[in-house]
Amino acid sequence: MKPVLNPAIDMAHLATYTQGDRALELELLSMFLPSAQGYIDAMADGNTAGDGEAWWQAAHSLKGVALGVGATELAGLAEIAEGHRDGAYDIRADDVAALQSAMKRVRSFVAALN
């Protein structure tokens, strides 16, 4: 039996902001994707990874934008990453890998909406 996974985007949550307007949802999600990826890329950057404050800012910002569109898994992983502000490089590398994986699921979910 395959495990049941939650959708990458909680569309019911997003609909609370869009009143179910699919075009608006797609527009918001199309703006969200590069923004979220930019924060992940910043976290993967060697300069950010070595700077606890910059790491925390990127993780915190990612969490905020992910929560806004209902990307709860991504937001949860970003929250975990926030806690690794002063973490070792390998812990942060694991965070980035998990975020990239979750982001891939988000992109696939959004692509399937089109």
Instruction: Say if 25 falls within a structural domain.
Output: no
| Contacts (Cβ under 8 Å, ≥6 apart) of 9 | 29, 69, 70, 71, 106, 109, 110
**Does 13 reside within a domain?**
no
Residue 49 inside a domain? The answer is yes
Confidence of residue 114 (pLDDT cuts 50, 70, 90): confident
Q: Which of 76, 81, 71 is nearest to 106 (CA)?
A: 71
Percent of the chain residues past pLDDT 90, beyond the cut: 80
Per-residue pLDDT band for 6 (boundaries 50, 70, 90) equals: confident
CA dihedral sign, ordered 19, 39, 51, 87: positive
Q: Is residue 9 part of a domain?
A: no
**7 inside domain:** no
Find the length of the chain.
Answer: 114
Sign for the pseudo-dihedral over CA of 97, 98, 101, 107: negative
pLDDT, one tens digit per residue, over 47-81 is 666 788 999 999 999 999 999 999 999 999 999 99
**What is the rounded average pLDDT for all residues in the chain?**
92
Q: How many domains does the chain have?
A: 1
Domain of 74?
A: 32-113
- Whether 24 maps to a domain, the answer reads no
* Rounded average pLDDT over 79-106: 94
